[in-house]
Structure 1
Amino acid sequence: MVTVKAIYNPKRMTEGAGVSVQRVLGFETRYECDPFLLLDYFGSSSESEYMAGFPEHPHRGFETITYMLEGQVKHTDSTGRSGIIGPGEVQWMTAGSGIIHSEMPLSDSGKMYGIQLWLNLPQEYKMVAPVYRELKREEIPVVETTSSQVKVISGKYRKRDGGMQGLYKPVDIFDVKLWPDSVFDEVITPEFWSYKYFLFIYEGEVTVANDPKPIKAPCGVALSQGSIIQIRAGESGANFLFFGAEPNNEPIAWHGPIVMNTDAEIRKALEELSNGNFLK
């Protein structure tokens, strides 16, 4: 039976040019949550806390996966790609050898909320060419049962392939909506026993397995390895991101928006940023 291994309460901070962010996973959790580096729950119902957005900034060595819950964000980057994602949509950016991009909110509903996940690339793929991809609402398969609605963003759920797969790192990402007092009751098959799985509860509350203590949103949870998952929603239901992947089990050298394997690689990236030859 899968149980709660660790609970990550978010820490509020400001990122970008002044966006209110609740950091769930970060630098301190990088090894225990390998290959997931960071999880930010961002946004606000007050425009002053998000409209400044995330102006141009660099990334190298990992992937950013952004899932919008409310509002819209416009992406532009140094490869010439641009796009807009709204509620229930995904942008998946492979920074690879280096990219400079911006993520700027569009004021349409008076509020903006989303989740950004950083997925570390294995060493052999750190310097691949950068790629930007989008996943629209209608492209995400939805599996409905008597207890839940599961949007299969990536990976496979009940024989349904996700709307987008990792180019260099397989990953399961499901957006799960549980009806009140219902249970997400699933079996992890042997080919996924090496995966580490996590939850980010963003609405409502849940209990895991036989632990009676409710875990309330917003909150991150690391799950123990096992074959049976039982997650029960509280009386008002719950919404959570269920995600997992196989660890890279490699050294992690991390400085701001750059994640490599050695300090020497970090120094080189910073020198290239300073010298103007960061982009390959």
Structure 2
Amino acid sequence: MLSPVPKGVRSMTTIPATVTRTLRGSPTSDGAGVKLTRVIGTPQLEMLDPFLMLDEFGTDRAEDYIAGFPSHPHRGFETVTYMLDGRMRHKDNHGNEGLLVPGSVQWMTAGRGLVHSEMPEQEEGRMRGFQLWVNLPADAKMTEPKYQEFAPADIPVVEPAAGVAVKVIAGLVADASGNEVRGPIEQPATQPLYLDVGLEAGASWQYVLPEGHNAFAYVFEGQASLGEGDAARLLDTHELGVIGGGDALSLRGGAQGARLILVAGRPLREPVARYGPFVMNTREQVMQAFVDFQEGRF
């Protein structure tokens, strides 16, 4: 039997969500040789509409990240950088500049195009976090670039159940009393959900996912069980679970607890033409992006 859904999340559903498939990422490098793990954007899972790519980076070795991501172009999608440890400075050719510190989030809408760099502002120590690429609909691909950037203090933390702590980056979560808490990120096109969920050992929580969204969970510390009863699946550290079958997702921390990101978005169901840092709807639009970049129109 499903546990009650807190007031203010959504109406009760009778359909439990399940993990429909699991996968692990592939080691790769990007930028000027930064070592990372690509989880979405590989032959195993090319995309999960509207999500184009998910990279996890995490190392104590400065040589794995110190070269950073020098200036590179983007057009037609959004990048979401969530820092867990370390410091990263970003700049673009529009004069925007900022520093990402542990716990901060940057949601960058590349839109019609910009040239962007992300460089470590440290020479030693731990660098850890995620970068997610989110597609833009056809009618928003050529919008002006913009940023939504939030310090750790601006991202609310909710305790919806005993032993459960949720950082609400995007979307809506109700606390144990039913009070609604909304994350600071807003994107009407894909209506994203982005939660950092901490589960103590044996702690459980049920969350009702937004209707019609594609969703995944990625465990980056410990183990977590997702789903109800015999259909529950145990996800290990560095394992992604694609979620489907229903809306009510049950989560339970493993023997050592768990920490995971739970992400969902409204699928766009549009053609995707992509090459490197350009994500458009047609091959001709991608070719035009190359021309515009080479002629300095970003």
Q: Same fold (TM over 0.5)?
A: yes
Written as runs of structure 1 = structure 2, the 5 A alignment for 1:124-273 is 124-144=139-159, 145-158=161-174, 159-166=180-187, 168-188=189-209, 192-209=210-227, 210=229, 211=231, 213-273=233-293
Corresponding pairs, count: 274
Partner of 1:61: 76
User: What stretches of structure 2 of length at least 5 have no aligned partner?
Assistant: 1-15, 175-179
Alignment counterpart, residue 106 of structure 1, candidates 117, 121, 130? 121
Matches of 2:149 and 2:233, distance apart in 1: 37
Shift of the alpha carbon at 1:227?
2.6
Contact 1:193 1:227 in 2 (8 A): yes
Change (3 A) 1:212 1:167: closer
Matches of 1:195 and 1:215, distance apart in 2: 21
Change (3 A) 1:219 1:111: same
Shift of the alpha carbon at 1:231?
1.5
CA shift digits 1:205-226 (9 cap, x unpaired): 1122234552111121110141
User: What stretches of structure 1 of length at least 5 have no aligned partner?
Assistant: none
Larger mean CA deviation between 138-147 and 52-61 belongs to 138-147
Q: Secondary structure at the match of 2:139?
A: helix
Matched, 1:6 2:21: yes
CA shift digits 1:117-158 (9 cap, x unpaired): 001001110000001231111111110131300010011111
Matches of 2:102 and 2:124, distance apart in 1: 11
Partner of 2:6: none
Matches of 1:219 and 1:227, distance apart in 2: 21
CA shift digits 1:155-188 (9 cap, x unpaired): 1111111022126432011110001111122234
Q: Secondary structure at the match of 1:214?
A: strand
Contact 1:26 1:39 in 2 (8 A): yes
Alignment counterpart, residue 39 of structure 1, candidates 29, 54, 68? 54
CA shift digits 1:100-131 (9 cap, x unpaired): 00001111661100100001001110000001
CA shift digits 1:20-75 (9 cap, x unpaired): 110000054345x1000000001311000001000000000000000001001101
The percentage of counterpart residues that share the same residue type is 38
Amino acid at match of 1:55: P
Change (3 A) 1:103 1:167: farther
Matches of 2:104 and 2:132, distance apart in 1: 14
Matches of 2:42 and 2:110, distance apart in 1: 18
Contact 1:199 1:221 in 2 (8 A): yes
RMSD between superposed Cα atoms in Å: 1.5
Q: Secondary structure at the match of 1:267?
A: helix
Q: Secondary structure at the match of 2:49?
A: coil
Matches of 1:225 and 1:62, distance apart in 2: 28
Change (3 A) 1:232 1:118: same
